[in-house]
Amino acid sequence: MKNFRKLSALILSALASFTLLVGCGAAPVEDTTPTESASVVEETAPEATPEATPEETPAPQSDTTEEKTESLREFRFTTGLGGANGDFLYDEDGRLSHITLGIYDDFSQDYDINFDYTDGKASARFDAAQAAAMEGSPYVLEVTDLTLKDDGTPDALSACTDCAVYIEFNEDGLPSFFAVAQEDVGYQITYTRTDDGRLTMDSAQCVYGYIYNHSAEPTNDFFTPTGEILYQ
């Protein structure tokens, strides 16, 4: 019986040793074989689509045509048979540019005054050829005085020919007093503006004493003055 117990103990001891050997065995070797790597799909960034340039929309054209403001072009003043006359010309800005003084109504004897605005202010002188032709005569062509408005256009002009010349100008550049005479006689001229904005001569009253003392006394006049205003 004692031997049986020893034998059983040996068997149990052997089984325990075997179990320890199995439990303490080397750790299982990991499979280091690389797994097949997942195929890398290279993502290509989508090509940028160029933005379409917006077409310029043409500005709408106005159906209305801008009207050009008319400017004064000419004023023809005639005192009548045998009297002095004046032809007044204006530049594209409506400024007085030239005066032809006619001693007779048909301008068979006339003198020309030219205006210049180089510095923005009017200056005036007679035609050089006409002035030269007067040399040696008792008369001389000369602008003796020219006063200006604030905008540089003529306000009043005094000159000598074979007559006394004196002209005053209103705010529109038209003559409001006109005299080419050997006596202190001239015309006070008035104007009317019509519905279309244009000016027309209203009246021309012959007066005495205005050139030298500005005391306009109406006088009888057998002439019949007329005036025509032209626009451009």
Phi, psi dihedrals of residue 222, rounded to the nearest 5°: -85, 0
Phi, psi dihedrals of residue 21, rounded to the nearest 5°: -65, -40
- Indicate the pLDDT class of residue 160, thresholds 50, 70 and 90: very high
Burial grade of 90 (CB within 10 A; 0-12, 13-18, 19 or more) = buried
Q: Is the pLDDT of residue 173 over 80?
A: yes
What confidence score (pLDDT) does residue 137 get?
87
Mean pLDDT of the chain: 79
Q: Is the pLDDT of residue 38 over 50?
A: no
What confidence score (pLDDT) does residue 18 get?
45
**Average pLDDT, integer, range 203-232:** 87
How far, in Å, CA of 225 to CA of 144, rounded?
A: 26
Residue 101 zone, left/alpha/beta (φ > 0; ψ -120 to 50; rest): beta
- Indicate the pLDDT class of residue 31, thresholds 50, 70 and 90: low
What confidence score (pLDDT) does residue 5 get?
52
Q: Is the pLDDT of residue 153 over 80?
A: yes
**Average pLDDT, integer, range 174-189:** 91
**Average pLDDT, integer, range 147-173:** 95
What confidence score (pLDDT) does residue 70 get?
80
Count of C-beta atoms within a 10 Å radius of residue 76: 17
**pLDDT tens digits for range 11-20:** 545 544 444 3
Q: Which of 125, 123, 157 is nearest to 141 (CA)?
A: 125
What confidence score (pLDDT) does residue 218 get?
86
**Average pLDDT, integer, range 61-74:** 67
**Average pLDDT, integer, range 151-161:** 96
**Average pLDDT, integer, range 163-182:** 94
> 3-class DSSP state for residue 155?
strand
Domain range summary for the chain, segments of one domain joined by +: 72-231
Taking the CA atoms of 173, 193, 201 and 198 in sequence, report the sign of the dihedral they define: positive
What confidence score (pLDDT) does residue 220 get?
73
**pLDDT tens digits for range 82-118:** 678 999 999 999 999 999 998 765 556 789 999 999 9
